[in-house]
Amino acid sequence: MPESYVTISEIREQPNAIETVLKDLREKEEELFDVCSNSSSFCLTGCGSSYYLALTGNALLNKNDLSFAFPSSEIFISSDQIPSIPFDVILPISRSGETTETVKATKFLKEKVPKIKAVGITCTKESSIYELSNIPILSRNGGEESVVMTKSFSSMLVAIEYFSKLNSGKHSPSKDFRKLPRDSKRVLEKSEDLAKEIESNKNLKKFVFLGTGKYYGLASEAMLKTEEMALSWSKAYHPLEFRHGPKSIIDDNTLVTLFCPTWKDEEHEELLEEIRLLGAKTLVVGRKKDVGKMESDYTLKIPSRKENTELSLYIPIVQFLGYYLAINLGLNPDNPKNLTQVVKI
Ligand code: F1P
């Protein structure tokens, strides 16, 4: 198995990227808390994986305030769909900080709402998004050489969780994130073993990822990893949407992954059973107490942590899965077909 690809090292480096972003967050905590205390409407934006981060962030912020998430291009191309409320905060999310659409969307909203505060989340200090931000959040060690986003995604996700805690009025959330790098390391090891085991089932050709609420952004990111690295047929859905069409596509060459929510839910158990009866293989990712009784071909148990400090632990399994699928298909996971690290138009 070639280990010379940079993607595999970057996936394994995420505990360090998480530890480092937590440091930056602690340093900026007061300023960020201040912004949150004076804000009640948020607009999150990004492209690709960064847009999926925006979706998860949106689900977290909507708990206490009004929040919207848009792919960056939608903000300036179809601006009539953007609510005319004067947003208090824009959160542009971008690993490179240079994606044309995200830079353009940020400038567009700043012009439209002069009082808006920009809290950019990026992995690149020398970048337009960092410059355009009133308070930039930097994932210093999250940047990658690889085209696909892995540790950048998990570390910026931690930043979003942290920000949402500050926004819910939690003055110093750093305690809640204690030992997250340790948990990340543990989950990485289990995830890599499980991804190899799943990949050894050579019949898997189609991949479906299901996630509700804040998990939908994760399901979408999972879809992108399989698509980008393994160039494979891959879809993301809200779980019960599965019955409204996608169900017709699945067969015994399909792996359906369910990101199991942190609340007990019979709807998910029934859905999983139905999927299994249709012949698909299933993977369930969730906390021990939530996935415990679920019948599934594969299960990844996530350590129990304070709510919304654990989302980054759900993602390494799908990063490894994309990686090992690509390797076994003879593809180069570092340089997916037709893609570039940054899209500049
Ligand atoms: C986001 C992004 C990636 C995608 C591709 C092109 O870039 O869309 O998610 O994998 O490589 O760029 P960024 O704005 O986060 O730098």
Q: Which residues line ligand 1 (CB under 6 A)?
A: 47-50, 94-96, 99, 102, 147-149, 228, 339, 341-343
From the CA of 343, how far away is ligand 1's center (Å)?
Answer: 7
Q: Which atom of ligand 1 is nearest to the CA of 46?
A: 14
- Residue 3: per-residue pLDDT: 62
User: What angle do helix axes 180-199 and 14-37 make, rounded to 10 degrees?
Assistant: 130
Which of 6, 49, 154 has most ligand 1 atoms within 8 Å of CB, for mutation? 49
Q: What is the pLDDT of residues 39-59, one digit of tens each?
A: 999 999 999 999 999 999 999
Ligand 1, atom 10: closest residue by C-alpha? 148
Amino acid at 224: L
Ligand 1, atom 4: closest residue by C-alpha? 48
**CA pair distance 345, 341, nearest whole angstrom:** 13
φ and ψ at residue 167, rounded to 5 degrees: -70, -25
From the CA of 151, how far away is ligand 1's center (Å)?
Answer: 13
Q: ∠ CA 13-19-20 to the nearest 5 degrees?
A: 90
From the CA of 129, how far away is ligand 1's center (Å)?
Answer: 14
Amino acid at 55: L
**CA pair distance 55, 212, nearest whole angstrom:** 11
Stated as kind and residue range, the H or E segment containing 208 is strand 206-210
- Residue 2: per-residue pLDDT: 52
- Residue 31: per-residue pLDDT: 96
Q: Which atom of ligand 1 is nearest to the CA of 224?
A: 10
From the CA of 28, how far away is ligand 1's center (Å)?
Answer: 25
Which of 70, 343, 344, 345 has most ligand 1 atoms within 8 Å of CB, for mutation? 343
From the CA of 286, how far away is ligand 1's center (Å)?
Answer: 27
Residue pair 179/313 in contact (Cβ under 8 Å)? The answer is no
Q: What is the pLDDT of residues 63-75, one digit of tens each?
A: 889 999 999 999 9
From the CA of 154, how far away is ligand 1's center (Å)?
Answer: 14
From the CA of 248, how far away is ligand 1's center (Å)?
Answer: 31
From the CA of 261, how far away is ligand 1's center (Å)?
Answer: 27
Which regions of the chain are under pLDDT 70?
1-3
From the CA of 156, how far away is ligand 1's center (Å)?
Answer: 13
User: What angle do helix axes 151-167 and 14-37 make, rounded to 10 degrees?
Assistant: 30
Q: Which atom of ligand 1 is nearest to the CA of 102?
A: 14
Ligand 1, atom 5: closest residue by C-alpha? 341
**CA pair distance 345, 73, nearest whole angstrom:** 11
> In b/e form, how buried is each residue of 129-163, taking b as 16+ CB within 10 angstroms?
bbebbeebbbbebbbbebbbbbbbbbbbbbbbbbb
168: left (phi over 0), alpha (psi -120 to 50) or beta: alpha
- Residue 337: per-residue pLDDT: 85
Ligand 1, atom 13: closest residue by C-alpha? 94
What is the reported pTM?
A: 0.96
